[in-house]
Amino acid sequence: MKNKHRKFKRNYIFTSILLLLSVAIMHNGRAKIHYSSAFDNYLTAYGDSIPLPADTIPLTDTLIEKQKPDSLPVDSLGRVKIDTFSVKMSKDSVDAPIEYQAKDSMVLDVTAQKLFLYGETGVKYKDVDLKAPEIAFDQQTSIVKAKMKLDTAGKSLGQATLVQGDITTMSDSLEFNFKTQKGLTHSSYFQQSELYNFAQVVKKIDAQTIYAFKGRFTTCNYDVPHFAFRSKRIKYISKKMAITGPVGVEFENVPVLPIVVPFGLFPLQQGRHSGLLPPQFTVTDRLGLGLEGMGYYKVISDNFDVTTRWDIYSYGSWRLNLTPTYRVRYRYNGSLNFSYQNTHQGFKGDADYTKNKSFHLTWSHRMDSKARPGVNFSASVNAGSSSYTKFLPTNAIIDQSNGAGGVYSQPQSFANQMNSSISYQKSWIGKPYNLSVNLNHNQNNNDGKVNLNLPDINFNVNTLYPFQPQEMAGSGKWYYKLGVGYTGSARGMTTFIDTLFTFRQMIDTFQWGAQHNIPISLALPQLGSIQISPGFSYQERWYSQKLFRSWNDQTNKVDSSISKGFYTARDISMSVSFSTAMYGTLNMKNKEARVQAIRHVIRPQMSVGYKPDLSKSYYINTQFDTSGRRMMMSQYDKGVYGSFGYGESGSVGFGIDNFLEMKVREKADSTREEEGEGDGLKKVKLIDGFGITGSYNLLADSFKLSTFNLYARSTLFDKVNITATANIDPYLVDTLGFRINKYVWQDNKVSLGRITNGSLSVSTSFKSKEKDKDKKEKDVPQQYDNYDNLTADEMEQQMDYIRRNPSEFVDFNIPWSVNISYSLSFSKILRPDYKGFDTRFTSSMQFNGDFSLTEKWKVGANGYFDFQTLKIPSFSMFISREMHCWQMSINVTPFGLWRSFNISIYPKSGMLRDLKINRTRTFRNS
């Protein structure tokens, strides 16, 4: 018996030595062992005091051959087949390998079947990854225990970190059962979606469900959060929601005692899901107290959802908004918004009481270009009652912050125009022609005038070269470049007043027209440095009505009448143009001078054209004032495509364009050498373009010289953009402003003529350098704003919301910025009664800017100044405070048509965007 015990002891020592050797040969002292039931079977076999006898006779191929065919199953090679499923598994074994490692040491308690790991340990089992300073594993219960460890100074050497799926839990201590997948942790931190959570005790039921006791959760990622919600009991369902009992709010670990709600539901699901949309409280002087934006968002399918919102006011007004959106991936997407409002301003019986019912409709549709190659369909509809925007509060603006997959879209209350377009386009692949069909609408909200173009059809044939062979080598013959094209269009249009609309009125005002254009071009070889381009064009227009004008001596005005029918007009023109380019460079002799060279490019052009007079039949010499003045007026002036020009023309056109730039030496900059600009020179544009164009009609009996068109473009110092245009009339005018056939320089004046219209625009922007170009957003909670499937119109609405609420989108990394733009325009317009001209003049300046008072405070303003009235029609300013996980903004509009102020405090997290403290007041000036 003693010999048997000595034999067992020798086997046990031998096995232990093998285990220690396997640990020693691991990488850098780390042990990685697959723990399975095979070792349990070994312990079971040698657990008895009498060990099993060892089989000293090896199994050879000869022995296998002597076996009977039915005694042991063998394969075609004579090898014994072993059924592994017949091997008995230990009751305490696990169903998958367990990988574990320890940097310091490992202790194996064979009797208790426990394993202890020390020093940067780790255990992996299926999708479970556990790391901790100390880990203990009980093989009988399949429970692993881990805990944190402190050094001699009391500093933490690490926490127990458990990762399963997308959930990471960091705890002071934890217990986890590999079989049941249940666990219990203490003092744990974990993240669910945007929520950063802490709880004294956390119980894990399965891979998706977690219970927390005395928990705290927040969207602030600081260890000591700026704000948090506390609840005694919390249930987390991964990627779905968090459910709490009574929950309170705290700021900087200070609880706000009065603010306690009986329960809380916090969605953790990403993407679209149905739910209630909370309202915002507002106050207006015209509508009273109100709740805006309350409603419901419903996800009907992956391709369709609907948002319904209501606005209710204390004076009796209400508004309903219905916004369905649809999308089919890789094919098309769109949205529709219908709004109906019933407005009551003031109280019944008051002198200023008004009541109005109006509607507004928007539709946006976009087709994926890959859905049907060569075919595209798009829609952008913005229509409704002209009075809709007049009764819309200024704070009822586009707001996507409530999310829910829908856009709460309202037009601005000061919008004067509404435009719509529905377009279908088709191009035949491999064919030289294409087709487009459009429906257009524009509406003036001031006078209620509506213009409809339905339909607007365009058919184009690309230039064809009939004499060019399909396979051509070299440049070919000169006539190979003779090209013929075609452009045809047809349009129907009608005009009416929206409040007086009747179907009969729309039919009476409906007219149509068509236009055909056949251009013939020839690209001749270049003659030296001169490019010669001859051309020929034939145009024909169809009209549905004629306009007859006559002078009425009794009323002293021009009377007009319309005749319906089918009418045509034609026009022919031919021309030859010549163009070239000349270059000149002035190099400085002093190589150390700042300016090294100046380069000037001149592009002159000239053309000769002829147009016969085919318009005599429909141009009538008509009296238009009491003095007997007459003017050639076309009977097709009010047609869809207008009228061709009057008279025969044999014109010589001329023009010249200039471009000026210089090379300057830059200041020493080592970074430019790294960019491959070691010479230290750079090009600076002085004039992007400056020129003049005009023509002289050799066949005209009067007014042979046309007006001169001047233009100039420049960008000074890469900062200031300047664009200017002007039209100069070389003829004198009478007392009423009508031209007379006499040049201005015939009175010994040095002048090109009178400036009849022109424009000037100057814009610039300045900003300081960024404080930290490598600044990252890791200290800011992530926001999950959903911009999927936004149409172009919805993106424009989002940009409009940003422009109207700049304090919510400030960049605290730029200390200051200033943007200024100035525009000036004027033109002379013939009066409707033909009794002279009026000059329309506009001059305005737009400005916006902001600067940082401190690293967290930002102040800014934007406005518009009208130099003609010397007033500021629009001005607003804001103050914004960046609070890491929160944002505060104050917007004030002190004067203008609408005066308002708004104070908002809101978290940056997309999950808590509805927790917005908002105070808004608006006032309208009479």
CA 472-476-479 angle, 5° bins = 115
Residue bearing the bigger pLDDT, 195 or 800: 195
pLDDT band at 916 (very low <50, low <70, confident <90, very high): confident
Tens digit of each residue's pLDDT (9 = 90 or more) over 426-436: 999 888 999 99
pLDDT at 594 over 50: yes
Q: Give the three-state DSSP class for 616.
A: helix
Residue 783 has what pLDDT? 39
Q: Give the three-state DSSP class for 617.
A: helix
Across the chain, what does the average pLDDT equal? 80
**Cα–Cα distance list, 423 to 333, 454, 458, 489 (Å):** 15, 11, 11, 14
d(CA 114, CA 96): 18
d(CA 912, CA 249): 13
CA atoms within 13 A on the CB side of 636: 26
Q: Give the three-state DSSP class for 795.
A: helix
Residue bearing the bigger pLDDT, 874 or 897: 874
d(CA 913, CA 661): 52
Tens digit of each residue's pLDDT (9 = 90 or more) over 576-592: 999 999 999 998 888 88
Residue bearing the bigger pLDDT, 379 or 208: 379
Lowest mean per-residue pLDDT among 140-144, 594-598, 666-670: 666-670
Residue bearing the bigger pLDDT, 65 or 529: 529
Tens digit of each residue's pLDDT (9 = 90 or more) over 696-748: 999 988 889 999 999 999 988 778 999 999 999 999 888 888 888 888 888 77
Cα distance from N-terminal residue to C-terminal residue, the chain: 115
pLDDT at 530 over 80: yes
Burial class (CB in 10 A: 0-12, 13-18, 19+), 635: buried
Tens digit of each residue's pLDDT (9 = 90 or more) over 80-106: 555 555 556 666 666 778 888 888 898
Distance of CA 628 to the CA centre of its chain: 60
In sequence order, the β-bridge partners of residue 196 are 191, 218
pLDDT at 437 over 90: yes
Looking up tokens 């009796």 gives: 316
pLDDT at 168 over 70: yes
Q: What is the pTM (predicted TM-score) of this model?
A: 0.63
Kindly state the helix (H) or strand (E) to which residue 51 belongs, with its residue range.
Answer: none
d(CA 519, CA 499): 44
Residue bearing the bigger pLDDT, 780 or 549: 549
Kindly state the helix (H) or strand (E) to which residue 181 belongs, with its residue range.
Answer: none
